[in-house]
Amino acid sequence: MFPTFEKIKELAKTHGITLVQLEEKLGYSRNTLYKLKNQKPNAERIAEIADYFGVSVDYLLGRTENPKIADGDEKFFFEGKEVDVEKLAATAMRFNGKPLTNKDKKAIQGIIEGYLKSIE
């Protein structure tokens, strides 16, 4: 069995969609993804899936446990929806209502990212 199917299934769950919904979004016929349980993936198809989820092809192929694409921004999800952590941190204000410094915003962003990673 190839690890690709399990990786795709896990990513779909993280993004709050089913494999059937993913097949529909990518324009694949039904059960295309389920065939990956026992077949080597097509290079073009695996690249499309990696692009959809914003992960590396190596991650989907099981060659690395790091889903990040080189120089790509890490994506965070909460309750199946992508969260823009930088934007979220930028909306925070100090207790006294004054705007935060860039250093403060980065610190809050780090706290939010740490929390979101811990609940995965």
Q: For residue 42, what pLDDT band results from cuts at 50, 70 and 90?
A: confident
Q: What's the rounded Cα separation, in Å, for the pair 31 and 40?
A: 15
The contacts of residue 75 (CB under 8 Å, 6+ apart) are 54, 82
- Rounded to 10 degrees, what is the CA torsion of 17, 22, 25, 27? -160
The 10s digit of each residue's pLDDT in 47-99 is: 999 989 888 888 888 887 777 665 456 677 777 777 777 777 766 766 676 77
Spans of all domains in the chain: 3-60, 76-118
Which pTM does this prediction carry?
0.56
Q: For residue 114, what pLDDT band results from cuts at 50, 70 and 90?
A: confident
Q: Measured between alpha carbons, how far is residue 14 from residues 45, 53, 77, 100 in Å?
A: 20, 10, 7, 32
CATH architecture of 3-60: Orthogonal Bundle (1.10)
